[in-house]
Amino acid sequence: MKKLYPGIIFIVIFISAVVIYYRYSTGKTEKILEQLKKEYPSIAIDEKINATVTNIDHGDPEIFRNHPHQAYLILDNSIKKRIRTGYELTQELMLDEVLEEGERLVKGYGTDTLYIYKIQSEDTLKYTFQLKDDLGYPLEKAD
């Protein structure tokens, strides 16, 4: 029985260390995400957007992985916005497969549809996405 005590003590210390690290790591990630949500407000259904993407902030990949349907954007060199979408409505593409700097975003007032226009030499490609809230549900009008 005395031979088991060092192993049990080691396991208890190891599990305690893992729990402490997990809580610290999770808290740090949540603080960063909350700060990004404040810095990059989500596009609301009552907003009208007609702007060019001048920068896409991908965040720190060592802290959290990139969500393929979410982007932190700077529009027209000044407006910071966060968008979250589902799959592209006609071709089932993810947002990060389509969105690049220099593209035009268009969203009408009162709608949850976002259009991304990709200009390539003489062609203009149009992609259609439905905007989602932070939980992944379609945008709704605030009461």
Domain ranges of the chain: 1-39, 41-130
- For residue 26, the model assigns a pLDDT of 67
Token pair in block for residue 91: 């071709």
pLDDT at 24: 74
CA 118, chain centre distance (Å):
21
pLDDT of residue 5: 79
Give the pLDDT score at 60: 60
The model carries a pTM of: 0.73
The reported pLDDT for the residue numbered 130 is 93
- The span from the CA of 66 to the CA of 84, in Å, is 12
Strand order in the sheet with 79-84: 79-84, 70-75, 49-57, 104-107, 113-120, 123-130
Residues of the chain with pLDDT under 70: 1, 25-26, 58-66, 142-143
Q: How much is the pLDDT for 129?
A: 93
Q: Can you give the pLDDT at residue 64?
A: 53
Q: What is the DSSP letter of 16?
A: H
Specify the pLDDT at position 141. Answer: 72
**What pLDDT is attached to residue 109?**
92
In this structure, what token pair is assigned to residue 62? 């060592």
Distance CA 64, CA 127 (A): 27
Count of CB atoms situated within 10 Å of the CB of 140:
9
Phi, psi of 54 (to 5 degrees): -105, -20
pLDDT at 142: 65
- What pLDDT score does 136 carry? 83
